[in-house]
Each structure stands twice: as C-alpha cells, then as structure tokens.
Amino acid sequence: MRILVLNADYPRFLAWLYRRQPGLENTSYDAQMAARNASLFGVADFYSRNFAASGHPAAEIHVNNPWLQSAWAREHGMTVEPAPPPGAAAPRALPGWLQRAVTPFKPLLRPLARKVGLSPSLDTEAENILLAQIEEFRPDLIINQDTFHVNAGLVRRIKGIGRPILIGQIGIEPSRGEDWSVYDLMMSQMAANVNYFRSLGVRAEVNHLAFEPAVLDALPTAPAADIDVSFVGTVSADHRLRIALLEAVARRYDLKLFGSRPHALPDASPLHRCFQGEVWGADMYQVLRRSRITLNSHIDFTGQKAGNMRLFEATGAGTFLLTDFKDNLHTLFEPDRDVAVWHGIDDCLDGIDRALRNEQSRTDIARAGQARTMAQHTFRHRTQEILGFAEQARARP
C-alpha cells in the first residue's frame, strides 16, 4: 500500500526554520525536506518513516510551505511564480478582545472565514502543485492532517486521482458546514470529535498522538535540569482554563513559559513576565529535559478526555509530567505512577510543591512514564492502527 500524508506547518515555525538556515529556500526539494524533518518539529516524518518500516512506501507533503512546494514544481517542469522571501510580513492578528469574543463561535464561523479569505487555504497554483504530486505518487491511502488548507472541495478533486482511501485527521473542534462525507474515515484523538462525525453518519475512530523514539537518538546530550516548572505550548483565547492555571502557578513559582505571547492575554496577566520565547522541535525537547516539572493542561474543548501531544512528548523525553486529570487518562497512563495528576488549581500548586521537594519521586514517575510511552504510544503503534483502519475501509463495498 502506497501512503501519502498531507500536513501543514505554522507560519511562525517556517519563518524560524528558514531564518536559521539562510538560503535554504533556494535549495532542492530533498534538501529542504531533510532540513524540515531534521528540526524534529511536530510530527516531522514520523508517520511516513514508520509506514515505510512496515513495508509500505510513504511520503509526506507540507502543503503550505511555498519554498518547498515551488522547488518540487520546478524540478518537475512546472512553471510557478517565485515564492516571497522567507520572513515576509505575516497577517496582523485580530485584537485580543475580538479573539476572546469569537472563540466560542469558531466552528460556525470557519466556513464564512474561508469564503472571505480569512481562513488558511491554498491558492490555485499551490493546489495544482499538490494535485501533480498526488498524480505522480499515486497513493493507495491518503491521510489528510490539515483539513483547512486541504478542504473538502479539494479532497473531492484528490479522490478522482486513482480513487485512494481517504482518511482525515483533526485534533481541534471541527468546522460546521463542511462536507465530511468525502472521507472514508475521520480520525481524532478527541472522543468528542469522533462522536460528532458519527452523528453525521461519517465513519470515525479514535487515533491518539504519539512519540517517536528516534527523537532521543537525534537530540544532543541531555542538559542539566535548571528549570523548576515549565509549560511549553499555546496560550490563547481557546485556553481559558489553561490560562487560569498558569497564572496561579506564576504567582507562586518561577514558571518558565515557552511559546508565543498572545494578543488575547490581558495586560495585567502575570504570565507576561514568564514568556521565554518560542521553541521548536529539538529545542522544545531540550526544554522539556531541562525541566524538573513540566505542566500540562488540555484545551477547553476536550472536556473530560485526555490526549494532547504534550502527554507523549514530555513522557517520551523522560520528563516528569504534571497533567490535568481526565476520565480516560488511565487508558493512556497510570495516574501517579506514569504521570502526576492535578484535579484543580490548588491541587496543582500542592503537586508542584511536593514534586520539587522529592527528587526521587520525580525520577521514578518520569522513568515509568517514558517506559509506558515506549511500550504503547509510539508512532509505530499508531501507524499500525491506521493500517488496520485502512484495511477495513478497503474491505467495505
């Protein structure tokens, strides 16, 4: 089975990647892809390398990287417009008050945002490059991990190229009004998403995120643990519970917060002094390894279900993780053995205090969490699940 994974990268990550390697945008497709994968950011090539290890030729396409995609097009005889230089001005963010106001309505507003050009999308040239790549690769299975740039309309065009099995993967609240029936299967780490798709008559399954063990071989020597409490990730209007937690932690402990400073954060928030800037890929893993404690708090939409990427990145890196309790957490990790758990803000503060005073307990939990991840939560495990889903889809009439 030939497998193609479609993905997209944050514009801020792309700006960082090309800024740290001047001239990368002028190199070959293979060279740019190698640099992108070597960053270890996100899922890198973790899906395709594990599909390939199971005997299935696989490749990744980063659909919104104009320099990478233009290089492929030129190398395949397509005439394309020159991509703007890396670091060109990004669109201005909405004011913080407006971000907070529209957050509850995002799933309903996305179709309108797409129509008026405010939602991520591919232009005609980028779509044509993607279609040409699919025509050349001729996959039997396509996994679309970016349902914004590669929307349902484009997926229907893709489906006409050899009629591959089409699986969509989404980790945020799905847009309303989208025609999800174009997919043979939808996957999500969020049970609420799976239930939503099934309510529409669309086949859907839970498929959790994971850790790639090869990351540990690619990282430099583990640094000294010089950060008491860290949080690595997004702080936005979609994370009201997370913000409340982190603000309480910041008032009592020396919290180091790694991520972008959001426009939606009020000026009076104590988090402003905690921001250390963004870290991507290998740098992010090194921050985790420098942390005596790293915190986790799921996005509000998840409700009482656990499954975000931080669970697997932190435990896979061998870091002591203090995470929010969720009803299904025990199906992934054993609470207070593999990961430490908090049930509320005051409980989290007490948990930080206990952990900072007990190095042996932190070490034991970190080791148990890493062992659990290696035994059950690697990309090898996840790709095997996906292959099973694909076989079921292929067997259906």
At 6 the three-state DSSP class reads strand
Say yes or no to pLDDT of 61 above 60: yes
How high is the pLDDT of residue 100?
47
Say yes or no to pLDDT of 221 above 80: yes
Whether the pTM exceeds 0.85: the reply is yes
Instruction: Provide mean pLDDT across the span 73-81.
Output: 96
Instruction: Provide mean pLDDT across the span 266-285.
Output: 95
Structure tokens at 354: 């206990």
Say yes or no to pLDDT of 114 above 80: no
Question: Could you read off the pLDDT of 120-151 as tens digits, one per residue?
Answer: 789 999 999 999 999 999 999 999 999 999 99
Provide the angle, in degrees to the nearest 10, between the axes of the packed helices 124-137 and 152-159: 30
Say yes or no to pLDDT of 91 above 60: no
Domains of the chain, CATH where assigned: 3-210+379-395 (3.40.50), 220-376 (3.40.50.2000)
Averaged pLDDT score across all residues of the chain: 92
CA distance 53 to 44: 16
Strand pairing class (340-342; 3-7): unpaired
Could you give the dihedral angle defined by the CA atoms of residues 282, 283, 289 and 294, in that order, rounded to the nearest 10 degrees? -110
DSSP 225-239: --EEEEEES--STT-
CA distance 58 to 208: 20
CA distance 188 to 183: 13
Question: Could you read off the pLDDT of 283-294 as tens digits, one per residue?
Answer: 999 999 999 999
Q: Using 50, 70 and 90 to split pLDDT, how confident is the model at 24?
A: very high
